[in-house]
Amino acid sequence: MADQASLQKTPLHDLHVELGARMVPFAGYAMPVQYDGVMAEHNHTRAAAGLFDVSHMGQARVSGDEAAFEALVTADLAALGAGEQKYTLLLNDQGGIMDDLMIARPDDGDLFMVVNAACKGSDFAHMRARFGSRADLNELTDRALLALQGPQAGAVMADLCPGAAKLVFMQAGAFTLDGMDLLVSRSGYTGEDGFEISVLANEADALARRLLSDERVKPIGLGARDSLRLEAGLCLYGHDMDETITPVEASLTWAVAKSRRERADFPGAARILAQLEAGPEKKRVGILPGDRAPAREGTEIVVGGETAGVVTSGGFGPTVGAPVAMGYVRADLAKPGQPIELMVRGKARPAAIAKTPFTPHRFHRG
Amino acid sequence: MTTRYTKDHEWIRIDGDIAVVGITAYAAEQLGDVVFVELPEIGKTVAQGDELAVVESVKAASEVYAPASGEVIAVNEALEGAPAMVNEAPGGEGWFVKLKLSAPDELDAMMDEAAYKAHTS
């Protein structure tokens, strides 16, 4: 049991408590796991709009020689124009995934990144060590981060900050709302249209209350954040990928820019390009259990009586209306429809490899 | 009919040597939306404290333990199609299992409703 007193609080902590959230320890922070209930919050996000506090995530600006930053990740940062954002991977020298992150150029200037809460200390230390004096990393500890997600998110934003509502998927920009300086991107972690909004910590409570005053918007906890991202087929760092997994194995080859592959100039390029050529030994896939029993993280995957892989995320998909999972299997089994068995509580249960996402992405591509 | 409670938040309602077992409203509330219940096979014999069933919410799986020793003589098959009944009527239609008790005096040491309320407050 984590010591509650040692947990950090986000700038929205008092609001969560006021809204009746159940608070749990997550990555060193006291975070809301649910308000009304995971199922209701999940369904509300898919039907209208949900507001998530993701202030525990790491935010930083990078200035100086961007080549020093590009050398550590899989994106083509030189090609990242003003107002654009990319999903990318921070790799170790063996090509293992240290983190997945978003990098944006919200204006003409510096790069802005958002990294996972549990990785931010190690990510930023690694980046600073590799940057040396070539680039500066400025961690934005004075900023909170909110996510507004769902099919009504665009309409809510249009009423509040019309400029930001004009962004399309994977665009980002700087906006002003009632004197608040916002960095907004059109992206998220639910498979729905939506925004991630960086705001000064001391203005976050006012912004959150402003968003929640719109009846289309409800607060959503980490429980539904997890079921939403799992249905959307999106990876959770530390579960669906870690430092031993390459982008090819994680089925994230699309996040390695074509130009970077041609230049073979990203960490672990030799190993990753060889895997691309020959195929990896194992691959991340979607899994649909054949009965009603959810298969949780750690569940053994069996084919023909032999271990063939492991579930890395699994639970119930409220929108799918059935259990959903993802995990790693031997590459020759990584095709949709392939029958497998899941060992849940000592019983082999039928399941099949499935395409992800389990629910169609509904990004606003303009 | 008497109802007794365990510290693990199961209830057991006794009528002679037959008992119905479920989880309390407090437990159902803590679990959140129940999406699946794994029930034992009829005829299975359990000792007090043995795993009797597994209840799965969106978030996690939790064990349900046998409040008393006995033989499983019925399971609530309706939960298969409607697991949410555990949230809607935990003390009624959301029951899990019927046991034929082999040691009914095990119940004597268990909490009554007032004691259970004190335990969860």
CATH of the domain at B7: 2.40.50.100
- Asked whether residue B73 is assigned to any structural domain, the reply reads yes
Instruction: Given CATH 2.60.40.10, say whether it is the number of domain A281-354.
Output: no
- Asked whether residue B90 is assigned to any structural domain, the reply reads yes
Residue A1's pLDDT band, with cuts at 50, 70 and 90, is very low
pLDDT single digits (tens) B99-118: 999 999 999 999 999 999 99
Residue B59's pLDDT band, with cuts at 50, 70 and 90, is confident
CA A233, A236, A237, A242 torsion-angle sign: negative
pLDDT of A3 reads 57
Asked whether residue B51 carries a pLDDT value surpassing 60, the answer given is yes
Q: Which chain A residues have a beta carbon less than 8 Å from that of B57?
A: 38, 316
Task: Provide the mean pLDDT of chain A.
Answer: 97
Sketch the domain layout of chain A as residue ranges. Answer: 51-202+233-279, 281-354
pLDDT of B36 reads 97
pLDDT of A41 reads 98
pTM: 0.96
- Asked whether residue B74 is assigned to any structural domain, the reply reads yes
Domain coverage including residue B15: 2-104
- Asked whether residue B117 is assigned to any structural domain, the reply reads no
State the ipTM, two decimals: 0.90
Task: Provide the mean pLDDT of chain B.
Answer: 96
pLDDT of A4 reads 65
Total structural domains in chain B?
A: 1
Q: Which CATH architecture describes the domain A51-202+233-279?
A: 2-Layer Sandwich (3.30)
Cα gap B30→A316, rounded to integer Å: 17
Cα gap B63→B52, rounded to integer Å: 7
Name residues 33-92 of chain B within 8 A of A (Cβ): 33, 35-36, 38, 54, 56-61, 80, 83
DSSP symbols for A164-232: HHT--TTBEEEEEETTEEEEEES--SSSBSEEEEEEEHHHHHHHHHHHHTSTTEEE--HHHHHHHHHHT
pLDDT single digits (tens) A192-217: 999 999 999 999 999 999 999 999 99
pLDDT single digits (tens) A124-147: 999 999 999 999 999 999 999 999
Count of Cβ atoms closer than 10 Å to residue A132 Cβ:
9
Quick check: A294 and B61 CB within 8 A? yes
pLDDT of A138 reads 98
Quick check: B59 and A315 CB within 8 A? yes
pLDDT of A136 reads 98
Quick check: B32 and A37 CB within 8 A? yes
Mean pLDDT of A96-101: 98
- Asked whether residue B112 is assigned to any structural domain, the reply reads no
